[in-house]
Each structure stands twice: as structure tokens, then as C-alpha cells.
């Protein structure tokens, strides 16, 4: 019964791109694109790039007429890798605010993005936010750096993302 309610809730929210839907004695729902059985949420936002497993959408600002959108549904293997890295790095206990403190806000580089990473799996979830580093780089802070690298590597290895043209957005 719990699984039936979970499936119905998931379908109503359209938030379960990683949930298999075998027939379990309930009314048949229209086929949904499903890539696996690992249930979790990963949302990553760099200010110029966003990705969400909830929507299955990847967006990269192009600052041109080039297309910067793609449907990306992670495989079970990719989701397991991200969730394992989150667990290994202790992501679920990382403070929500990892923002760099600027002693002189006027010296904050103009291209610094407001980064956000949200991961949820089962009853574990966390969201962390940060700015670019004190040196002006977009290097994530140490507590989330390995996890961010894992997510970026997975996304960049996807043909839907790797086939996009480079962004024309200026870096100051």
C-alpha cells in the first residue's frame, strides 16, 4: 500500500524520473519516460547552468541565439555515483551557507555566481549555497568540491550536454 501511494504521489508530482512503475494492482498510468529505479533528487545551479533530476532538464545560458537546453535523465549508475559521493563527503551535514565572506564587498568579482546544490534521497536531504572563491574563481568550497566535480563530470559526459556549443557569455 505504501508503494502504491508513493507511486501515485510521484506521478502526480511528475518528480520520479528514476522510479520504475511495474503493474502493482492499481489502475494503469500512461507510460512515463523512466531511466531507472534509483530515487533521488539532484538540483545544481551555478547561475549560468542549471540542472534538475526533478524536471530532467539541463540549461546553460548561451548569451547568444545558440540552444542551451537539453533533456537529461540520469541513469541508475549515475545517480548511485552522485548519491554515494554525497554520502562519502558528508554532504547531508554540510552547512547551508558556504558563502565566501568578502571583507570589501566592492571588490567582489562581478562574475561571481550564486551557486546552489540540493540533494535528497530517502529521508536524507541538504542544500548548500556559496559564492565564487576569494580569488574570483568558480572553484567550489572544499566541503562540496568532490561532489560538484562528480556532478559536472557526469553532466559533461552526457552527449546531450557535450554536444552543446560553448557559451558566449563573457567572463570578466
Q: pTM for the whole thing?
A: 0.72
Say how far apart CA 59 and CA 68 lie, in whole Å. 6
DSSP for 80-134 reads: HHHHHHHHHTTGGGS-SB-PPPPSSGGGS-TT---EEEEEEETTEEEEEEE---T
Q: What was the pLDDT predicted at 46?
A: 87
Domains of the chain: 38-162 (3.30.1560.10)
pLDDT in tens, 54-108: 999 999 988 888 889 999 999 999 999 999 999 999 999 999 988 766 666 676 6
pLDDT in tens, 131-156: 876 566 677 889 999 999 999 999 99
pLDDT above 50 (res 26):
no
Amino acid at each position: 500500500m505504501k508503494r502504491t501511494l508513493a507511486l501515485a504521489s510521484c506521478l502526480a508530482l511528475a518528480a520520479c524520473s528514476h522510479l520504475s512503475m511495474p503493474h502493482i494492482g492499481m489502475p494503469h498510468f500512461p507510460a512515463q519516460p523512466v531511466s531507472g529505479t534509483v530515487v533521488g533528487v539532484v538540483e545544481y545551479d551555478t547561475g549560468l547552468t542549471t540542472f534538475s533530476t526533478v524536471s530532467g532538464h539541463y540549461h546553460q545560458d548561451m548569451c547568444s541565439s545558440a540552444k542551451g537546453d537539453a533533456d537529461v535523465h540520469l541513469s541508475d549508475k549515475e545517480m548511485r555515483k552522485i548519491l554515494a559521493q554525497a554520502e562519502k563527503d558528508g554532504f547531508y551535514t554540510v552547512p547551508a551557507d558556504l558563502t565566501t565572506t568578502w571583507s570589501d564587498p566592492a571588490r567582489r568579482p562581478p562574475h561571481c555566481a550564486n551557486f546552489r546544490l540540493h540533494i535528497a534521497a530517502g529521508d536524507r536531504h541538504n542544500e548548500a549555497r556559496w559564492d565564487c572563491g576569494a580569488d574570483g574563481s568558480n572553484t567550489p568550497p572544499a566541503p562540496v568540491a568532490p561532489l560538484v566535480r562528480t556532478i559536472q563530470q557526469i553532466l559533461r559526459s552526457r552527449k546531450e550536454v557535450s554536444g552543446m556549443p560553448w557559451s558566449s557569455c563573457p567572463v570578466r
